[in-house]
């Protein structure tokens, strides 16, 4: 991977060491160019070439998203964010009073609130306790012993600690017990490989504004093909019906594909940007990106430990991700993050630690810069 060449796609590198991809990432010039293409078309031609330009790009980007996930195009819908994708599952399944959803206390609120909001329908949310930043799989296995569990909802990577959940093992447990598996993938999609079908994941959602290096407000929702019929869209409009180009007939039949979850006009500029971002990721290859990111986070975690910082992120093989969380002595993480920011290193404080999250275009020198700025 030619990091110097790649840095030219990220003008932010001229300003600072950007280590906050787990928060909101800068977009690449590839996403910027795609957005510009949209803007030029919109200003010069309006909707004159709607099918040939807008529709064609939306469907091309759907294919790109499917390729990244090893999925079929009919399993992909565009959503406005991760929360909407998780909400589609919460709102769309046929819950019965007494059902249980299992999640955990390391999760971002987006993956807890939608399930807790089902309480009015008699659905109980079980919040498993994490330990040292990770969720021990034994706790999940134990919780899934209950025949009342309908769904397991977890993140691919925990947003605070950076612990990577073993999706293959969790998906295997879910399959054995006939439990649905819904994954909040925003903390790994674009930096670590993720193949929902191979891992036994039934639903997945991720917005574009973190590791995918795209804009806010346009994300990907995956629904396993065999489940499309079981998930009822919470909003039905012109776009999710069977023939969405027939504006004269009020239809009750839904699209067969995941377009059934897209009720109206899509976020076309957002999808253009996402397309530019996905093209870059697919060109580099997700395995090469993962190797690079994990190499940088290893370097950072080792450097932090050598300097006597407390590394909070689980670091065992298979548990690492693009996130390293740490504390510097007894300094408040907010204070450490503010100090680093003054030194030109952008990380943030989350869940009791300073969270640093480099992407493939960051340099070893930027990691060294963070370490030097701590002292
Ligand atoms: C794990 C996780 N899920 C969801 C979100 C929020 O996602 P969105 O704003 O796309 O709904 C975040 C944002 O930090 C997150 O870290």
**Cα distance between residue 31 and residue 58, in whole Å:** 14
pLDDT at 375: 86
What does the pLDDT read at residue 177?
97
Class of domain 35-283: alpha beta
Ligand 1 centre to CA of 208 (Å) is: 10
Q: Which two three-digit tokens encode residue 55?
A: 């529709």
pLDDT digits (tens, 9 = 90+) for 246-277: 999 999 999 999 999 999 999 999 999 999 99
* Residue with CA closest to ligand 1 atom 3: 108
Start and end residues for every CATH 3.90.1150.10 domain found in the chain: 3-19+286-374
What DSSP character marks residue 203?
A: E
Q: Mention the CATH class of domain 3-19+286-374.
A: alpha beta
Q: In angstroms, what is the span from residue 186 Cα to ligand 1's centroid?
A: 6
**Residue ranges in the chain modelled with pLDDT below 70:** none
- Residue 35 phi/psi, 5-degree rounding, is -65, -40
Question: Rounded to the nearest whole angstrom, what is the distance from the C-alpha of residue 61 to the centroid of ligand 1?
Answer: 21
- Structure-block tokens of residue 121: 């329908």
Residues constituting the chain: 375
Q: Where are the beta strands (DSSP E) in the chain?
A: 17-18, 76-79, 100-104, 124-128, 149-155, 180-184, 203-207, 219-223, 310-311, 324-327, 345-346, 348-350, 353-356
Lining ligand 1 with CB less than 6 A are 81-83, 108, 110-111, 155, 159, 184, 186-187, 207, 219
Task: Name the segment(s) of the chain with CATH classification 3.40.640.10.
Answer: 35-283
Dist. CA 68 → ligand 1 center (Å)? 19
- What was the pLDDT predicted at 267? 98
- Those residues with Cβ within 8 angstroms of residue 5's Cβ, 6 or more apart along the chain or in another chain: none
């Amino acid at each position: 991977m030619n990091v110097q060449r790649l840095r030219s796609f990220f003008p932010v590198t001229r300003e600072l060491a950007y280590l906050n991809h787990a928060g909101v990432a800068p977009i690449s010039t590839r996403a910027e160019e795609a957005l510009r293409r949209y803007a030029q078309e919109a200003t010069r031609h309006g909707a004159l070439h709607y099918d040939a330009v807008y529709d064609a790009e939306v469907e091309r980007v759907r294919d790109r998203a499917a390729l990244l996930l090893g999925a079929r195009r009919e399993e992909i819908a565009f959503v406005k964010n991760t929360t909407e994708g998780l909400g589609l599952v919460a709102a769309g399944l046929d819950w019965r009073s007494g059902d249980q959803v299992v999640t955990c206390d390391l999760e971002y609120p987006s993956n807890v609130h939608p399930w807790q909001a089902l309480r009015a329908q008699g659905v109980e949310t079980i919040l498993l306790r994490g330990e040292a930043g990770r969720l021990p799989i034994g706790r999940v296995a134990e919780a899934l012993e209950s025949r009342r569990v309908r769904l397991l909802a977890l993140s691919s990577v925990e947003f605070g600690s950076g612990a990577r959940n073993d999706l293959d093992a969790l998906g295997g447990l879910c399959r054995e017990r006939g439990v649905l598996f819904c994954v909040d993938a925003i903390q790994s999609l674009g930096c670590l490989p993720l193949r929902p079908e191979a891992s036994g994941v039934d639903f997945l959602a991720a917005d574009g504004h973190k590791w995918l290096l795209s804009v806010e407000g346009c994300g990907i929702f995956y629904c396993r093909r065999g489940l499309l019929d079981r998930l009822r869209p919470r909003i039905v409009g012109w776009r999710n019906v069977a023939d969405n180009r027939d504006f004269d007939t009020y239809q009750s039949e839904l699209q067969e594909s995941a377009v059934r979850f897209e009720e109206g006009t899509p976020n076309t500029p957002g999808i253009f940007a996402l397309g530019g971002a996905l093209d870059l990721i697919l060109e580099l290859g997700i395995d090469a990106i993962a190797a690079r990111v994990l190499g940088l986070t290893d370097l950072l975690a080792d450097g932090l430990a050598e300097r006597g910082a407390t590394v909070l992120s689980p670091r065992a093989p298979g548990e690492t991700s693009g996130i390293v969380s740490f504390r510097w002595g007894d300094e408040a993480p907010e204070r450490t993050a503010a100090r680093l920011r003054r030194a030109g290193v952008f990380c943030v404080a989350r869940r009791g630690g300073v969270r640093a999250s480099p992407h493939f275009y960051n340099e070893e020198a930027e990691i060294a810069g963070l370490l030097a700025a701590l002292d």
